[in-house]
Structure 1
């Protein structure tokens, strides 16, 4: 007896499911891998390629007219098609869309460096004769930028030392003030910022709040959720993550009420005024993405701090592993900061995630906590050794794994002496108020074994 052949059943195959293209609503870890990517229609490349082209072909005469008028020709979003890579590039567009998604903003604009991001963000808001207000504790390079180049361009800056003091804010904010600027986690001292408090001040004065989130990254804190309107990054650091590519970005939160600010007497013409007859303002044409479009068209396009598409590629690749890397950075930093605090050669450790730090409660509230209840405030912090400048020199020269170099946010651990580098141009009065002392050193904890790093630190401390 033989078995009968099975009867073939005719079926109609189902069409394959369409890939996801809109990543809104997906978790952070999924969006950091996928947001902004687009299908390659030529060969099916899975990874968005590096678009090495200075310019782009127009579909028609009317397409060219529309792009130069800032009008979208497709239904894919509010941004019109690219004209020239100084203004926008498809590879950089992947990174921009991904970062905007991770920060919870509307549109991001990638630029050539973190300093270019700060400059472009604020030049869109302020011009000659205007004024900005900043918290006092910010990166030394930004203070230099404000005190040198911004001053040369006729934009003045005042600093607030006590963010809790409404009277101090009211004293420094003027009718011609155009922005409040701060950082989530200032370096070198990890003195985290109360964004909600500053956002309330900004709202009361009808001012946009610009926040540098380079050290925090959206994996640890998202300033827009705390009341910020605009976020800037040095993407050179944690976002790209490997110290190989310089870049920056500006993210428009889409939350600032430009019309209310105008009615209150604060003018932002690049956003609210028509750039030429017959064409509506950026606000009229781009709505919640108006500020980002003004950054791209009226500042980045004019001045030219465009991001290389190769560096844009490294940026969107780097963001794919952001949360994983930040977990490792922070876990090691918490362990090392707690260990340093116990060493007899150490005078103090500035890490807001430690219970001994005066900002610990704020760190717990806004930066999440680990299993031990400590705030997760990044991996850049200060340590002060005994012996002043001589102790600092002995400590730095005794390190073998840590790299002696400027920079933060690398896979490699780094150390620098702020008083003789990032803060060398400031007077003793400012440095004393900022806590930049002769024995202070800035650590950036990388991805090496925390045990190996502690061994390296211990050997260096033996020389102090």
Structure 2
């Protein structure tokens, strides 16, 4: 099918990138469980390796099943191309890889998943990179944090764990003025609730493990390229604008234009980092995306109902859900995320750390797991798990203090979820 803008989201989430298998007529995208692909002849092989022709060489680089997922995600996010990889964390490294270099930094929001804070504050130091963490509500502080060595700005659309919503357009304006790409992690919102590229983002990353797959079966990640950034406007991004020695001096931006980042992600990123998505994971994710809009509508509906009940319960200190009228981000949520702010938020329990642990251990429907975005409702005490490696100050900044639990509201009956929380709170706060 032609990815015409006349097609709606519900149609594209099923059809974009997918065509009947030419060999068998199979309507569902097959799992191409193959390591390598036969070349037509020696000239064909040479053309593929020289990036003169697009095709399949080796599944570390390209795979037909993964290619369908890449095209679908690029279409849903409004990008020109995408690169899928093995996890959301892999996607973050691959997004930064062409942009950074020794001594360079990324300016990142303080409101990020704990694993991302650790990756940015600790792990990337081994590459000679660094990160500066800033409250993105303070745009002046963001501007001041950017210096001559900054190569990217990074945030989450709907932040994990607290469900904080970012004003992407405002942040994008700051990044644009500095001549920098804005990378937005859109995992928690998904392209159904938010399309960061339409609000000024350069790159969008996903942990496809979460809402996109939606069933807790496989891990995966993706980088979607807007195709809108001028990588040759300055000398800050030589990986994309300068001659590439591994390809006889080819310049990615000059050669591939608005697909420069996408081609680099495959030809250099996947080739050398090897963070490959396997075709079975791509297949499961494609099947999940077919029902994305239906699931996200139910996630939002349930989250509003459960969060409202929790906010009015005397055993609860506060609820961080931006979809509540009482939220300090309610106006921003309605303006920037009109379809809702997802199913993720935190709850502060009276009784602190011990009450949180009891609550988690007393629930019956909610699953205690280190995941989010499942059809099932999930809960975790972030301070003792996903954010355990952070300092107390970092935990508080990320919205993961010791008295807080993170909930990911699923698509079950909301009244059943409320009853489960009610009985668990009774045990936790007795």
- TM-score band by shorter chain is over 0.9
CA apart distance, 1:22: 4.1
CA apart distance, 1:211: 0.4
- Number of the residue aligned with 2:211: 238
User: Which of 28, 41, 44 is matched with 1:63 structurally?
Assistant: 44
CA apart distance, 1:398: 1.6
Whole-angstrom distance in 2 between the partners of 1:335 and 1:22: 36
Does 1:459 find its partner at 2:429? no
Whole-angstrom distance in 1 between the partners of 2:213 and 2:393: 36
**Residues 13, 292 of structure 2: 8 Å contact kept:** yes
User: Which of 210, 216, 225 is matched with 2:189 structurally?
Assistant: 216
Give the alignment of 1:9-88 within 5 angstroms: 20-72=1-53, 80-88=54-62
Whole-angstrom distance in 2 between the partners of 1:228 and 1:21: 25
CA apart distance, 1:244: 0.1
- Number of the residue aligned with 1:3: none
**Residues 139, 171 of structure 2: 8 Å contact kept:** no
Larger Cα Rg: Structure 1 or Structure 2? 1
CA deviation profile, 1:304-361 (whole Å, cap 9, x unmatched): 0100100011111111110011011111001100111011101100000101000000
CA apart distance, 1:179: 0.4
Secondary structure (helix, strand or coil) at the match of 1:258 reads coil
**Residues 368, 380 of structure 2: 8 Å contact kept:** yes
User: Which of 168, 173, 178 is matched with 2:151 structurally?
Assistant: 178
User: Which of 260, 277, 281 is matched with 1:307 structurally?
Assistant: 277
Does 1:161 find its partner at 2:161? no
TM-score (norm 2): 0.97
**Residues 111, 399 of structure 2: 8 Å contact kept:** no
Structure 1 residue runs of 5 or longer lacking an equivalent are 1-19, 73-79, 370-375
Does 1:102 find its partner at 2:76? yes
- Number of the residue aligned with 2:383: 419
- Number of the residue aligned with 1:273: 242
**Residues 180, 210 of structure 1: 8 Å contact kept:** yes
CA apart distance, 1:279: 4.8
User: Which of 366, 371, 376 is matched with 1:402 structurally?
Assistant: 366
Does 1:446 find its partner at 2:415? no
**Residues 178, 207 of structure 1: 8 Å contact kept:** yes
Residues 318 and 162 from structure 1, CA distance in 2 versus in 1: closer, same or farther, beyond 3 angstroms? closer
**Residues 111, 397 of structure 2: 8 Å contact kept:** no
- Number of the residue aligned with 1:334: 304
CA apart distance, 1:435: 3.7
| Aligned positions, number | 427
Secondary structure (helix, strand or coil) at the match of 1:378 reads coil
CA apart distance, 1:24: 4.5
Whole-angstrom distance in 2 between the partners of 1:42 and 1:115: 36
Whole-angstrom distance in 1 between the partners of 2:215 and 2:8: 24
Deviates more, 1:410-419 or 1:157-166: 157-166
**Residues 23, 31 of structure 1: 8 Å contact kept:** no
- Number of the residue aligned with 2:254: 284
Residues 300 and 62 from structure 1, CA distance in 2 versus in 1: closer, same or farther, beyond 3 angstroms? same
**Residues 270, 298 of structure 1: 8 Å contact kept:** no
CA apart distance, 1:162: 4.4
Secondary structure (helix, strand or coil) at the match of 2:209 reads coil
- Number of the residue aligned with 2:394: 430
Give the alignment of 1:258-269 within 5 angstroms: 258-260=231-233, 262=234, 266-269=235-238
User: Which of 315, 318, 325 is matched with 2:288 structurally?
Assistant: 318
**Residues 236, 246 of structure 1: 8 Å contact kept:** yes
User: Which of 93, 96, 117 is matched with 1:119 structurally?
Assistant: 93
Q: Deviation above 6 Å: which 4+ runs of structure 1?
A: none
CA apart distance, 1:148: 1.9
User: Which of 261, 264, 270 is matched with 1:294 structurally?
Assistant: 264
